[in-house]
Amino acid sequence: AQDCQVDNIQVMQNFNRTKYAGTWYAVAKKDPVGLFLLDNIVAQFNIAEDGQMTATAEGRVIILQQWELCAHMFATFEDTYDPAKFKMKYWGAAANLQTGYDDHWVISTDYDNYAVHYACREKGYDGTCIDSYSFVFSRHPTGLRPEDQYIVTQKKQEICLLGKYRRVHTINFFCPTVAIFA
Ligand code: AZE
């Protein structure tokens, strides 16, 4: 059904960023290569008066193989020709945490319950993605509603990541603000 070409991935039609704004809890994720957010991932999307989208995100990370801390991240989004495809510039509150410039595609959302996000960091010669990450977001920290699971599974399959996700929990994780000395 799908050829796994990144350029052929269908994203959310008539994406409405205003309805997308607010808090989303990651309930499942597919990791990229390298360091990544572990769990307790909460993202907050904001739309400014001029329409510009920004976000903050928190999540548990382990750095230097033993330090568990909470990453506080900031992101700004650049628009593209497709309203559901953004370029995301992001950085950590702690200067040495992480910076990056990734795709941020909204594959599917009903705005009130679920959203499927996708980012391909590296495309191979054949046009498929060789380093991607993806979040399944929910408006509810407890997870997806049963009635949203079918569509989410379908979308995971469409982006060729079915079976590659892990559930992630958001449970009263104490999110410490840590001073890091580089
Ligand atoms: C996302 C929601 C929108 C804002 C941001 C997001 C991604 C954040 C990361 C953070 C990685 C941090 C690491 C720290 C050591 C998509 C969740 C910024 C990818 C690896």
Residue 18: strand, helix, or coil: helix
Amino acid 98: pLDDT: 83
| CA of 122 relative to ligand 1 center, distance in Å | 17
Strand partners, 70: 60
- Residue whose CB lies within 8 A of the most ligand 1 atoms, among 37, 64, 106, for a mutation test: 37
| CA of 50 relative to ligand 1 center, distance in Å | 24
| CA of 72 relative to ligand 1 center, distance in Å | 9
Amino acid 170: pLDDT: 85
- State the complex-level ipTM: 0.96
The candidate with the shortest Cα–Cα distance to 119, out of 104, 130, 135, is 104
Amino acid 68: pLDDT: 83
Amino acid 65: pLDDT: 79
* Gap between the Cα atoms of 140 and 58, Å rounded: 16
CB 168 within 8 A of CB 26: yes
Phi then psi dihedrals of residue 147, to 5 deg: -70, -15
CB 152 within 8 A of CB 30: no
Amino acid 24: pLDDT: 97
Here the tokens at position 104 are 């941020």
Low-confidence ranges of the chain (pLDDT < 70): 1, 95-96, 172-174, 176-182
| Range list of β-strands (E), the chain | 22-30, 39-47, 53-63, 67-79, 85-92, 99-109, 114-123, 129-138, 166-167
Strand partners, 116: 108, 136
| CA of 104 relative to ligand 1 center, distance in Å | 11
pTM of the shown model: 0.94
Residue 92: strand, helix, or coil: strand
Amino acid 63: pLDDT: 81
For the beta carbon of residue 93, count every other beta carbon within 10 angstroms: 15
Quote the longest CA-to-CA distance of the chain. Answer: 50
Fill in the DSSP letter of residue 8.
Answer: G
Amino acid 69: pLDDT: 83
Nearest CA to ligand 1 atom 6: 57
Residues with CB under 6 A from ligand 1: 35-37, 41, 43, 55, 57, 61, 63, 71, 73, 75, 90, 97-98, 135
Nearest CA to ligand 1 atom 5: 57
